[in-house]
Structures are given as structure tokens and as C-alpha cells.
Amino acid sequence: MTDSTIQHDHLRKMYSEILMTKMSQNDVLSQLTDEDLQTLHRELTKWFGASPPETVRVRNDLKRILGKLSLDNIPGVD
């Protein structure tokens, strides 16, 4: 494994942690369960370093996941 590859891994991990922190700190997303939050995080970070995903695939995946999340604590219509 080259130094640059190690660096890539490090950067992926670094971004992943930053993203998780930002998601956890977000007023809305923090209302999600830990499991749902991790599901969303996993969905977003799975593209790191991969082939840029197709829009249709990402759209379908995200829609499917959004449909599964428990949004009870997310603010809706007043």
C-alpha cells in the first residue's frame, strides 16, 4: 500500500467523521434515531472513492432510505 493510498484512507475517514459530526449536530437530523442517522451516513459515505454514482441509482437508494426512516420527531406541518 502506497503512502498516498494510506492518505486516501485517512482522508475518507476524516471526511466521514466530519460528516457524522455535522449530521449529529444538525438540529433536525439529531432528532433521528442513532440507527437512522447511521443509515443515512452510511448511504452518503458509501460513494467515497468509488465511481461517481448514477443519479438514478442514488435517487432510488435515497428515496428508499427516506421512506424507511422514522420521521416522527422531525418537524412537519404545524
Cβ neighbours for 20, distance < 8 A, ≥ 6 positions apart: 37, 41
Work out how close the CB of 75 gets to other proteins at its nearest, in angstroms, rounded to a whole number: 5
Give the alpha-carbon dihedral of 21, 23, 28, 32, to 10 degrees. Answer: -100
Q: Which three cell numbers stand for residue 71?
A: 420521521
Residue 44 beta carbon to other proteins: minimum distance, rounded to whole angstroms: 6
Residues making contact with other proteins (CB under 8 A)? 2-5, 7-9, 11-12, 14-15, 18-19, 21-23, 25-29, 32, 40, 43-44, 47-55, 58-59, 62-63, 66, 69, 71, 74-77
